[in-house]
Structure 1
Amino acid sequence: MLEKGFFFTGFPGFICNQLIREVLKRNNDNGTFYVLVLPDMVEKAINESTAIISEYGLEQSSFNIIVGDITKPFLAITDEVQEVLQQRVTHVFHLAAIYDLAVPRDIAQRVNVNGTENVNEWVKRLPNLVRYIYFSTAYVVGNREGTLYETELIAPSSFKNHYEETKYEAEVLVEKLKSEVPVTIIRPGIVKGHSHTGETIKFDGPYFIMNFMDRLKFLPLIPRLGKGEAYVNLVPVDYIIQATTYLSQLDKASGKTYHLTDPHPYRASEIYEIIMQEMLNKKPKGMVPLKLGKWFLSFKPVRKYLGVEKEALDYFTWQGSFDCTQAVTDLKDSEISCPDFKDGMKPMASFYLKQKDNPAFQIKIL
């Protein structure tokens, strides 16, 4: 029987390194790991790989850093290394992408679309491939609203930002591969920190609300932003990695797309109140209309002071809900399910408060 060879893009990123740890936990025979790393990330990758090797008692030879670049043909991997990978890789996890909501179109196109096209072409040449797992996003739906299904990939009339648009275009490319390659597409909701430890790698998504509250805590009262009637789908990273690892080795998951979203999400107003209660022990008073909030955030000094991207406010009004029946059904035997947002609030706030002044966690507001 062929030994498993796991190949990852997106290392040493947080989701990728956590996913590798989960794959190791679920594979007693371990297998061999190959991680594609940009040249300027090699030092960080060595540090992270050393930690993983130490934690799991691995042989040095079972964890291999491959210098390359998804935006280049054949991933810029040397011919000698290509030969080894061709024979040994059985599972490919493609996570590398630009995840920033404010990303410029040209950068998003180069990494998210062209990069995925290069990975697709590379994957098609692997004779021993058992599964290709592609990380998309539930928000490939753009501005489509109502109930949104895992089984559909429909071009919306518009997108909220270039991130959504390029992830949609990339998923279209991967979807076409399903007739040639055993593909599983993962569509997470908005990823937040670990439900038990609160650990994350950057403060975006719901952490923009925390930045906002932390910067304005001196005020006698803090208003809510808009009516907050929209449901915001937040999922902890531990659910994403556990579910992805399980589905990557589930036979019936081949050829399917999964919404790894919260089946019972909270409204934006509820999330706002839960966060404020935990962080400041207060309730919001009054309301700033969202249009006015967006106007204020159109000024760079305001955005930078509050630590909030203007694009994040679009998710406070978007009226879509994700049906995740396929994911819930196929995960049923695994006992893996999405934790309640409220249950993970205390560790989330605790981690944020410890690291809020650490620039490594705050994303650059443009």
Structure 2
Amino acid sequence: MAKRTYFFTGFPGFLATRIIDRLISEHPDADFELLVHPSAMETATSRVKRLTSGGRDTGRIRLFEGDITKAGLALAPSVSDELYETVTHVFHLAAVYDLAVPEALAQSVNVTGTRNVNAWVLHCKKIRRYVYFSTAYVSGDRKGPILETELACGQGFKNHYERTKHDAEVLVQYVRDRVPTTIIRPGIVLGDSRTGETEKFDGPYFMMRFLDRFSRVPVPYIGRSRATINLVPADFITEAVCHLAHHPASADKVYHLADPSPYTAREAYRLIAEELSGKKPMFTVPRSSVYMMLSVPQIRRWVQVERETLAYFHLEAEFDCSQATADLEPAGIRCPDFGEYIPKAVEFYKENRHDPRKLIPVN
């Protein structure tokens, strides 16, 4: 088979780094061309050294300063012209994932950035696959079953993150007839199921931070919803994406990389509380009361929880994974059971909860 050349946005982010690490192991002769925002170049340089340490057999790995919010990704025309001739796979992971992101920033990075990446991809002469990272939560406030084949269904959105990721995926859907495209919609991503490792304590880790603040008093449940919460470990996402990026059947498909048998949010919360504090929640506080409490900036900063997080513990959406299951199960790739790996996630959190590099500021 002809040589593979991978082009990435979103490096040195956590998932991009893990995917590149696995691809190096699976395709050691491949080249990697990594678009890096100038603000992240120092970290990116350090991570490349780690990826190639120990005399590891790799192809060429190059870093290019760029910016997806700029036309042409802010690459020199001569650089783009060279890459257009060699790139075979594009992975677009760069985005703002903060649930409390301001609208202008979300629009610039998630929508304008994706429009610019789409335009760049269309110039690649040897492109075999365009892998775009969306999110399962482009479904917004929809309830009930959500199919992988559905997108724009008149839904509203809980925050600017969801709305702009939806709008960005719409743009990617428009290029599917011109470029072999695979769209990935992950659930809420936790750390590695085997080690617990993660880069930032955001998303469900906000609940661990919340429970930390009340560790010396009885632990409450928040609300009485029986909704499920779809949590998936990073190693499952990595393994699945690396497989689907090369699977002939996955071109022009959308995949919910979600847990096909998710726990209820209440049960997941209980397991986290017991692992973290050794205490089972004993009573219930109305969700509206907690939301009002987190509406006060001083309280929000003290408990270190974004109020937008609460909505995802009460979301009545069911993500159908039929396409993902059909194309992953023959390769033996399955989402691990949350109850089996949450002890590792909590253990890693407890060991690193005071590391300022892992703490997401709450405003």
TM-score by length of 1: 0.97
Which of 76, 86, 89 does residue 88 from structure 1 map onto?
86
For residues 91-106 of structure 1, the aligned pairs below 5 Å read 91-106=89-104
Distance in 2 between residues matched to 1:30 and 1:169, nearest whole Å = 36
Q: 2:86 touches 2:125 (CA, 8 Å); kept in 1?
A: no
Distance in 2 between residues matched to 1:222 and 1:275, nearest whole Å = 11
Q: 1:147 touches 1:320 (CA, 8 Å); kept in 2?
A: yes
In the alignment, does 2:267 pair up with 1:270?
yes
Distance in 1 between residues matched to 2:265 and 2:229, nearest whole Å = 6
Counterpart of 1:138? 136
CA apart distance, 1:81: 1.3
Q: 1:87 touches 1:126 (CA, 8 Å); kept in 2?
A: yes
Question: Residues 55, 143 of structure 1: CA spacing in aligned structure 2 closer, same or farther, 3 A cutoff?
Answer: farther
Counterpart of 2:250? 253
Counterpart of 1:315? 312
- Higher mean C-alpha deviation, range 153-162 or range 266-275: 153-162
In the alignment, does 2:21 pair up with 1:24?
no
Question: Residues 65, 189 of structure 1: CA spacing in aligned structure 2 closer, same or farther, 3 A cutoff?
Answer: same
Which of 208, 219, 224 does residue 222 from structure 1 map onto?
219
- Higher mean C-alpha deviation, range 164-173 or range 80-89: 80-89
Which of 145, 148, 154 does residue 147 from structure 1 map onto?
145
Counterpart of 1:34? 33
Q: 2:66 touches 2:75 (CA, 8 Å); kept in 1?
A: yes
Q: 1:6 touches 1:91 (CA, 8 Å); kept in 2?
A: yes
Which of 54, 57, 61 does residue 63 from structure 1 map onto?
61
Q: 1:143 touches 1:156 (CA, 8 Å); kept in 2?
A: no
Distance in 1 between residues matched to 2:164 and 2:37, nearest whole Å = 21
Q: 1:141 touches 1:156 (CA, 8 Å); kept in 2?
A: no
Q: Deviations over 1:247-295 (max 9, x none)?
A: 0000110000000000010111101110111111111011110000100
CA apart distance, 1:58: 3.7
CA apart distance, 1:227: 0.9
Which ranges of structure 1 fall in alignment gaps of 5 or more residues?
A: none
Q: Deviations over 1:141-174 (max 9, x none)?
A: 0001110000111243310110000000000000
Distance in 1 between residues matched to 2:181 and 2:54, nearest whole Å = 30
In the alignment, does 2:302 pair up with 1:305?
yes
Distance in 2 between residues matched to 1:196 and 1:317, nearest whole Å = 27
Amino acid at match of 2:133: F
Q: 2:194 touches 2:341 (CA, 8 Å); kept in 1?
A: yes
Q: 2:200 touches 2:359 (CA, 8 Å); kept in 1?
A: yes
Counterpart of 1:14? 14
Distance in 1 between residues matched to 2:294 and 2:20, nearest whole Å = 38
Distance in 2 between residues matched to 1:228 and 1:22, nearest whole Å = 38
Q: Deviations over 1:9-65 (max 9, x none)?
A: 0000111000101112222x4310011001121111100001101156145x71000
What fraction of aligned residue pairs are identical, expressed as a percent? 45
Distance in 2 between residues matched to 1:207 and 1:191, nearest whole Å = 10
CA apart distance, 1:209: 1.0
Q: 1:53 touches 1:63 (CA, 8 Å); kept in 2?
A: no
Distance in 1 between residues matched to 2:54 and 2:105, nearest whole Å = 35
Distance in 1 between residues matched to 2:322 and 2:29, nearest whole Å = 31
For residues 189-204 of structure 1, the aligned pairs below 5 Å read 189-204=187-202
Any idea what SS the aligned residue of 1:101 has?
Answer: coil
Distance in 1 between residues matched to 2:344 and 2:119, nearest whole Å = 41
CA apart distance, 1:215: 1.0
CA apart distance, 1:304: 1.0
- Higher mean C-alpha deviation, range 7-16 or range 80-89: 80-89
CA RMSD of aligned residues (A): 1.1
In the alignment, does 2:349 pair up with 1:352?
yes
Q: Deviations over 1:164-217 (max 9, x none)?
A: 000000000000111111000000000000000000011111111110111110
Distance in 1 between residues matched to 2:2 and 2:196, nearest whole Å = 38
Amino acid at match of 2:251: S
**How many pairs were matched up?**
363
Which ranges of structure 2 fall in alignment gaps of 5 or more residues?
A: none
Distance in 2 between residues matched to 1:286 and 1:55, nearest whole Å = 52
Which of 217, 228, 232 does residue 235 from structure 1 map onto?
232
Distance in 2 between residues matched to 1:26 and 1:329, nearest whole Å = 22
Distance in 2 between residues matched to 1:11 and 1:289, nearest whole Å = 40
Which of 302, 306, 330 does residue 333 from structure 1 map onto?
330
Q: 2:200 touches 2:360 (CA, 8 Å); kept in 1?
A: yes
Q: 1:9 touches 1:93 (CA, 8 Å); kept in 2?
A: yes
Runs of 4+ in 1 over 4 A off after TM superposition: none
